[in-house]
Amino acid sequence: MSIRAFFLAICIPFWGLSQHQTWLGAEFNIKPIKKTKLSLGVQHRTNGFSEWNRTFLEGKFSAKVVSGVHVFAGQRLGICPNPQSSIDLKATTYRYRSAIGIELNPVDWFKEKARFHLGITEQMQWTQRKFQRSNTVLRSKVSAKYDLEDFPLTPFIQWEHFYDFQRDITYMAEEIRIDGGTAAFRTFAGCIVELPKAQELQVSVGRRKNFLRENPQWILAVKYSINLK
């Protein structure tokens, strides 16, 4: 199958979906010192294939603590259309997210650099947005991927749970009650295509189900990466 046919096979089913987004991203990864990695990325999201939803600029630093254990911290700036433009007369608005977390790969505890990777990630993130309340979210992710031998393809799957500590706010007579709860579930399945000169192309299809939203949202995601040692 040619590359063009491969992309058409993934994209064509999305033309008939009214609730879907397209995510296009690029990432640059470098290891400044041993056992560390610095990632710089950009992602452009659209509703459907053309209507701008938001754009993210992100930086992330991770370090290996022991075999199979990594810790990380990151910052993300989001730019999106301003739903409150009638108030501040600005067409766009911003959101800022800070995050810290830990990732475990139990497979490394038994065999390092195995073809199979099992990732268990816990990430705490804080988001600030203009005209909206700030929120704190615990993001839990389980992922699995397998590097096929003698073939430039790595299939993967991942599942995520988002817990918002300020999901429900109730204004009572003498107090404000804040309760946490599940904000969303999200799953992705796809593959990583190994390209020449430390390059990769990741293509995946995702599904997100938000709290109190009847219909799920489908996602077509494509990310190009350069990995330097």
Which pLDDT tens digit goes with each residue over 173-227? 888 888 899 999 999 999 999 998 889 999 999 999 998 888 899 999 999 999 9
Q: Output the pLDDT for position 134.
A: 85
Q: Output the pLDDT for position 5.
A: 56
**Domain spans in the chain, listed from the N-terminal domain onward:** 26-228
Q: What is the CA radius of gyration of the chain?
A: 19
Residue segments in the chain with a per-residue pLDDT below the cut of 50: none
Sorted by sequence, the CB contacts under 8 Å of residue 11 that are 6+ apart come out as 220
CATH superfamily, with its number, for domain 26-228: Autotransporter beta-domain (2.40.128.130)
CA 174 to CA 150: how far, in whole Å? 66
Q: Output the pLDDT for position 106.
A: 95
pTM for this predicted structure? 0.88
Q: Output the pLDDT for position 173.
A: 80
- Burial track 104-141 (b if 16+ CB lie within 10 A, e otherwise): ebebbeeeeeeeebbbebebebebeeeeeeebebbbeb
Q: Which residues pair with 136 in a beta bridge?
A: 126
Kindly report the backbone phi and psi dihedral angles of residue 85, in degrees, each rounded to the nearest multiple of 5, phi listed first.
-65, -25
Question: What length does the chain have?
Answer: 229
CA 169 to CA 172: how far, in whole Å? 10
Q: Output the pLDDT for position 228.
A: 87
